[in-house]
Structure 1
């Protein structure tokens, strides 16, 4: 019985201290409570009067051991220093099991939307009456169009189509629309738009109206030049 009384306290005390070594420094109250309970039990083995002293003694030893040998958490992120691979994490930052902030999400790069096909409709180019000769006002309009087209990439392909209203014969309007389309292209090239960019120049005559030819406004809408851009 005396051997048991001698060995049992040592075994229990060693178990308490070993368990406390795996805790954090801030867990010393837990170590003190567990140590106190075991100390009280050990003291009671000797006599009832020893219970209080055993609780105080063993509880104090366990708390001190836990504080000295326990694992710290200097940055307060909840991960013990022995496992913290990212010490010094700012307070309030969420961390993973290794004490490291999660990697920042990759930035979302939005690809610019490229419009493959676009049509520029020129209605303010009226030419001289019944001719394909550009007026000074026409040239002002086309100068702005030339500036716009020169901003396109070298691979852009331009298709120009001339349109007329229904006044006159079909054959006459067909030829007039072709002449006007060529006049537009000639002016654009003279103002810096590469000749190689134009893949087709044609006339549609009066065959593709976009408004009613029975009214003056409708006929004005139908007299137009369209430049289709294929990128």
Structure 2
């Protein structure tokens, strides 16, 4: 029974009271209606339980009164908590290696050609996007044509030539922690073929974030 039903209780009680009073005398009908109707209304008010916001939870248990109609509520009359926002965290690749194979240098030299510089301009733009904490390790590699000692020295010169050009294009010098040449000691393809030797002639830039 809801508190909003008390007028109905009063009306029903009044009719009953009037009927009871009329059994005694017609003059008692009004007093009976007033007395019994008032008692019935008071009883409904005291013992009734309302649902003012219409959420299906009686006011005596409704911890969230005035909930807008149509909103789903729990046993306490409260809307369920909003789901926690999903925060998507971008995975950070801690280590990455950029392999540069399109820098060919002048023949038997560590001097960059104009086309080499165009390639390295793209690499420089890429490296300048790295955070200041990134550390760069540069290693030069050659094919197996020539002596080990000669290739070692040539690869070292070419690695330094690449680094100096990248620095001239705005990559911080402090980002480079190591610049070395590995010569022909770390092939990634067969040196017996022209295609394999082309793959082995490369500069690798390792990025540690």
Output the TM-score relative to the length of structure 2.
0.77
Shift of 1:108: 2.4
How far residue 83 of structure 1 moved from its aligned partner, in angstroms, is 3.0
The yes-or-no answer on 1:142 pairing with 2:142 is: no
Q: SS in structure 1 opposite 2:149?
A: helix
1:151 aligns with 2:129: yes
The residue number in structure 1 matching 2:198 is 220
Distance 2:52 2:111 in 1: 85
Structure 2 distance, partners of 1:168, 1:145, is: 29
2:142 to 164, 178, 190: 164
- Is contact 1:132-1:179 (8 Å) kept? yes
**3-state DSSP class of the match of 1:121?**
strand
Question: Which one has the bigger helix percentage?
Answer: 1
The residue aligned with 2:101 is 123
Task: Output one character per residue of 1:129-157: Cα deviation in whole Å (capped at 9) or x when no partner.
Answer: 11111000000010111111111111111
Instruction: For residue 96 of structure 1, report the CA deviation from its aligned partner.
Output: 2.2
Structure 2: gaps of 5 or more residues: 10-15, 17-36
How many residue pairs are counted as aligned between the two chains? 182
Q: Give yes or no for the alignment of 1:110 onto 2:88.
A: yes
CA distance in 1, matches of 2:163, 2:43: 88
For 2:136, what is the secondary structure of its paired residue?
strand
User: Structure 1: 5+ residue runs without aligned partners?
Assistant: 1-22, 32-38, 40-60
* Shift in Å, 1:65: 4.7
Write the distance in 2 (CA, Å) between the matches of 1:102 and 1:206.
Answer: 67
Q: Is the 8 A contact 1:122 1:226 kept in 2?
A: yes
Residue matched to 2:13: none
Matched, 1:84 2:62: yes
CA RMSD in angstroms, aligned pairs only: 2.8
Q: Distance in 2 between matches of 1:216 and 1:67?
A: 103
CA 1:213 to 1:88, structure 2 compared with 1: closer, same or farther past 3 Å? same
Q: Give, in whole Å, the separation in 2 of the partners of 1:94 and 1:172.
A: 79
TM-score by length of 1: 0.70
Which stretch of structure 1 is more off in the superposition, 77-86 or 174-183? 77-86
Structure 2 CA distance for partners of 1:179 and 1:74, relative to 1, 3 Å: same
Supply the distance in 2 between the matched residues of 1:190 and 1:180 (Cα, whole angstroms): 15
Worse overlay, 221-230 or 108-117: 108-117
The match for 2:156 among 171, 178, 181 is: 178
